[in-house]
Amino acid sequence: MAGPSTTTPPTGGVLESLSNDLAGAVDRAGQSVVAIQARRRIPASGVHWRPGIIVAAHHTIQREEDITISLADGTTVAATLAGRDPSTDLAVLKVDDAKVPVASLADGSAIRVGALVLALGRPGIAVTASLGVISTVGGEWRTWHGGTIDRFVRLDLSIYDGFSGGPLVDASGRVLGINTSGLSRGAALAIPGSTVNRVVDQLVKTGRVARGYLGLGMQAVRLPAALVEKLSLPNDVGLMVVSAEPGGPGDTAGILIGDVLIAIADKPVGDPADVMSLLGGDQIGKPLSTGIIRGGEPKTVSITIGERPREPRDARDPRAGRRGR
């Protein structure tokens, strides 16, 4: 007698359910995604982050006047630039009459390696999507332009033309952050929601993110072992001053080309990133004790931290010749 027949359970129902869930996530999150006409090429994307507040990618906002926003309901409204922060590649636009939903934000704990995510954009009338996963999650990091991003989030998906400034959303349609191709030459990254909120708060309040600076050009140099031993230095690397902006904080304090910085506020420095991490906006106007080596001898100089000047419009992105998405 033949045994009972066995059948393989169909998988179509599971796949169809996943497909429907993802399509639903795009429908929900896509209502808050807008198209921004602020450059010559195709529109860029943005997110209705708070009532009347549109978050966009800084590098896609190539003009500061005559900006228009196309909403999910098909209407077009005028927008004004409230402020931008090149160091985190974020910009904030204000609109008076955005009758579309505000984005639903996810908790930061939802940013996990392997999580299925969607990148959304609206580079035209309709919302578009790209599917992938979060490939890497790391700690706080500093961009090539000195901005602080709370978490490093690399994506295994495509950031198509017009997608920068659009949202990264989870499978339920909640927004995890803002996608950008402007912070890395070879990888799609997302700026987590916690960073976006912090930068938006500052841009709405003051129109800029204030950052301190010394007005010094520096490069790391290896210190002679005998000098390290003589001065009981904690490490054998310092920062040699190779340029000083006339009238800048370092120049005003008497720093000379050839001086080697070894400590700021009693914290050893051996890389320009060490210095930048100590120059937050809260340090502007404060004198910081700076340890240097001049002519082989230790010296302490007090430098009053200045505010980094705003950059000329045509110098905000050193990769200006490269197409931004």
- Residues assigned a catalytic role: 59, 89, 164
With 0-12 / 13-18 / 19 or more C-beta atoms within 10 angstroms meaning exposed / middle / buried, residue 52 is: middle
Which tokens in the block code for residue 227? 């000098």
List the one residue out of 150, 318, 301, 85 whose CA is nearest residue 214: 301
Provide CB contacts within 8 A for 184, sequence distance 6+.
none
Q: Please count the other Cβ atoms lying within 10 Å of the Cβ belonging to residue 62.
A: 17
Residue with tokens 């795009």, as numbered in its chain: 26
List the one residue out of 171, 31, 21 whose CA is nearest residue 103: 31
Residue with tokens 């359970």, as numbered in its chain: 9
Q: Please count the other Cβ atoms lying within 10 Å of the Cβ belonging to residue 206.
A: 12
Q: Are 281 and 211 in contact (CB under 8 A)?
A: yes
Which tokens in the block code for residue 286? 């404060």
